[in-house]
Chain A
Amino acid sequence: MNDTLIGAHSGRANGALRKKRGAFAAFFHELKANPFMYMLALPGILWFFVFAYLPMGGIVIAFQDFKAVKGITGSKFVGLKNFEFFFRSDDWIKIVTNTVFLNVLFIAFGTVAAVGIAIMVTELGSKWFKKISQSIMIFPHFLSWTVVAMFVTAFVATEGGFLNQLLGKLRIEPIPFLSSPEYWPAILVLLKIWHGAGFGSIVYMAAIAGINPEVYESASMDGASRWQKIFHITLPLLKPTVILLTILAVGGIFNGDFGLIYAIVGRNPALYPTTDVIDTYVYRSLMDLGDMGMSAAVSFLQSIVGFALVVTVNYIAKKTAPDSAIF
């Protein structure tokens, strides 16, 4: 089936010149010219077909009254009923807002932290201090969210958690974090920075390392201060990298960080008002309610909006900063 897919591409490429049979012949000719390379590519092509393209076909479930026993081919089509059902619930505004809001916070604070760390670390003189601090700052990235969740409990537990111990010393009433949704956007942002800012700074550090040192030297000759060099050389030259990575992130703004939120918030309905995102919502309606049709409808919308976002954002980037576009 994949061969026909590739064939379709090649057919389009040569279509203007040859007739259909000619295109097929050209296709097989190319396969014969490079048998080893196509053999290497085949397993990967098949894998993507099964695990990425077949599920795309499964989107039809969103339009069905899906019954597991009857399967995709046997279930009845119900049109847009599943979507209607979702939009009629009160949940949808909440989960969409949460998803977008949390992601905007993550992107904004994450980028600022990573760029800040990259700039500060490159300005440091001491080699060993640089090395040790970097090792420590990158380390959290390698811990899974389930492990992080365990760390979090030690801090936010109402009885004996570090934060409440601290509040106790300041003679402030303990805060029941696990039932106070208002604190969680801040907690999640702090976690995200803890987990990813050090690792994210590597890319920016590489970009800074790529800046021609002569630029800095001549600025120093002109008497520029450290602060001026950062603001007038480093930051402007980092801009394309920042824009590129932000675009990549904005494309995913409709995907909640399931790992982070499910592991840390888990099934704590008290926190749903600020932390429930599309991904956790879909997961729950799939696993707990077994409502395949509606879960599929929600995740279909999520994919469509995500796709539209990537394409649009990339288009804008191409217009404003051609170097930053991905495709």
Chain B
Amino acid sequence: MIRESLTDKVLKSLFYLIIALFSLYCLLPFAAVVASSFAPEAEILKGGYTFFPKQFSLEAYKLIFADQTIYRAYGVTMFVTFVGTALSMIFTCALAYAISAKTVKYRNAIAFYVYFTMLFHGGLVASYLLISKYLGMKDSIWVLIIPSMISAWNMFLLRNFFATIDESLAESAKIDGANDAYILLRIILPVSLPALATIGLFYALGYWNNWFNALLYINDPHKFPLQYLIQRIMNNLDYVNQLSADVSIPNYIPPAITVRLATTIVTIGPIVFLYPFLQKYFMKGLMVGAVKG
């Protein structure tokens, strides 16, 4: 074993320091918003946002949860995330598997057909017109799912993974009399679980975080997803005013800032709780994709 020199040790400590500082940088905004959301509105109005509220207040959270809006938005987002991810996985797997098989003669033609869409697109206006005018999907909850159902990028990631699976696996099953569907469902998909989990996670997060489609196509407040709700709250006070309409205390100041912060926290909640479980999957999946790529 070669002993570490002094400069090596200094360098290593420096790396520890930089990584620690960067982690802190990543964590601070989150901590700030959580802390401030528990502060009373008056404190923030007087002293600004804070990491250490002098008083602990749940007022903002109480107001949010007393109103129907957040539950509805949660419902919309959950529906879009679950149904969307399921549909995305089915469509993506089917296409990726079909063009991963070397027996399929037109696989390269189809791959190029998909690949071209990553290079060139018709632009926002044409898509907007198509979806709102010609497909009539405006204000339908499906507009949050169907136009973003397949990501070409994910499809190719999965195809590359399928292509690395040893062909003899499918061939021997075929000799034993298994048909194509059986091979896909019982042999290929189970072996691909890490890749499927990674892509599923990407789709799920994509649906969970999407607000652009809602911004373009949804006007009905009953169909606002969470992220779009936040966007709306940030840009106008209607929501806060509506929340505090029932409060009949004289000189009551609607907690505009804390309600915004609390809503944000409520939106991120599920991601924070699921994150530790999901992290190891996508790390593995991404590593596989990256090394192969």
Kindly specify which of A30-38, A99-107, A181-189, A269-277 makes contact with the partner chain.
A30-38
Q: A38-B98, A143-B271, A299-B123 are in contact. Are A150 and B33 (CB under 8 A)?
A: yes
- Kindly state the separation between the CA atoms of A183 and B285 in the bound complex, as whole angstroms: 38
The one of A147, A202, A295 in contact with B287, judged by C-beta atoms closer than 8 angstroms, is A202
B150:A48 contact, CB within 8 angstroms: yes
**Interface majority SS (helix, strand, loop, mixed), chain A:** helix
User: A84 in the interface, Cβ–Cβ < 8 Å?
Assistant: no
- Kindly state the separation between the CA atoms of A316 and B291 in the bound complex, as whole angstroms: 23
Task: List chain A residues, Cβ under 8 A from B7.
Answer: 225-227
- Kindly state the separation between the CA atoms of A306 and B18 in the bound complex, as whole angstroms: 36
Count of CB-CB pairs between chains A and B under 8 Å:
284
B228:A157 contact, CB within 8 angstroms: no
Cβ-closest chain A residue relative to B132:
A68
Q: A51-B147, A207-B290, A295-B124 are in contact. Are A154 and B98 (CB under 8 A)?
A: no
- Number of B residues near A (Cβ < 8 Å) is 97
User: B231 in the interface, Cβ–Cβ < 8 Å?
Assistant: yes
- Kindly state the separation between the CA atoms of A224 and B147 in the bound complex, as whole angstroms: 54
Task: List chain A residues, Cβ under 8 A from B291.
Answer: 206-207, 209-210
Contacting residues of chain A (167-207) with chain B, CB-CB under 8 angstroms: 194, 197-198, 202-203, 205-207
Task: List chain B residues, Cβ under 8 A from A220.
Answer: 2
Min CB–CB distance A318 → chain B (angstroms): 16
Task: List chain B residues, Cβ under 8 A from A213.
Answer: none
- Kindly state the separation between the CA atoms of A227 and B8 in the bound complex, as whole angstroms: 7
The one of B12, B149, B209 in contact with A226, judged by C-beta atoms closer than 8 angstroms, is B12
Q: How large is the interface on A (under 10, 10 to 19, 20 to 34, 35 or more residues)?
A: 35 or more
The one of B98, B133, B231, B275 in contact with A142, judged by C-beta atoms closer than 8 angstroms, is B275
Most interface-central of B15, B32, B99, B146 (chain A CB within 10 A): B15
- Kindly state the separation between the CA atoms of A221 and B1 in the bound complex, as whole angstroms: 9
User: B105 in the interface, Cβ–Cβ < 8 Å?
Assistant: yes
User: A312 in the interface, Cβ–Cβ < 8 Å?
Assistant: no
Min CB–CB distance A162 → chain B (angstroms): 6
Task: List chain B residues, Cβ under 8 A from A226.
Answer: 4, 7-8, 11-12
B105:A30 contact, CB within 8 angstroms: yes
User: B247 in the interface, Cβ–Cβ < 8 Å?
Assistant: no
User: A59 in the interface, Cβ–Cβ < 8 Å?
Assistant: yes
User: B230 in the interface, Cβ–Cβ < 8 Å?
Assistant: yes
**Interface majority SS (helix, strand, loop, mixed), chain B:** helix
Task: List chain A residues, Cβ under 8 A from B105.
Answer: 10, 30, 34
Cβ-closest chain B residue relative to A36:
B180
Contacting residues of chain A (261-319) with chain B, CB-CB under 8 angstroms: 262-263, 266-267, 279, 282-283, 286-287, 292, 295-296, 299-300, 302-303, 306-307, 310-311
Task: List chain A residues, Cβ under 8 A from B65.
Answer: none
- Kindly state the separation between the CA atoms of A203 and B289 in the bound complex, as whole angstroms: 9
- Kindly state the separation between the CA atoms of A303 and B25 in the bound complex, as whole angstroms: 36
Known A37-B103, A133-B20; further 15 A-B contacts with Cβ < 8 A:
A30-B106, A36-B181, A44-B114, A56-B121, A61-B125, A68-B133, A124-B15, A129-B19, A132-B23, A142-B209, A198-B26, A206-B290, A282-B124, A282-B125, A292-B129
Closest 10 pairs (CB-CB, A-B): A160-B48, A58-B126, A55-B122, A299-B123, A44-B95, A144-B209, A41-B98, A9-B109, A52-B117, A55-B126
- A residues contacting B by CB (< 8 A) are 5-6, 9-10, 30, 34, 36-38, 40-41, 43-45, 47-48, 50-59, 61, 68, 71-72, 116-117, 120-121, 123-126, 129, 132-133, 135-140, 142-144, 146-155, 157, 159-162, 164-165, 194, 197-198, 202-203, 205-207, 209-210, 220-221, 223, 225-227, 251, 258-259, 262-263, 266-267, 279, 282-283, 286-287, 292, 295-296, 299-300, 302-303, 306-307, 310-311, 327
Can you identify 18 A-B contacts, CB atoms within 8 angstroms?
A: A37-B180, A41-B98, A51-B127, A51-B146, A54-B122, A117-B19, A139-B275, A143-B271, A144-B209, A146-B231, A146-B234, A150-B230, A160-B47, A202-B290, A207-B290, A251-B119, A286-B128, A299-B124
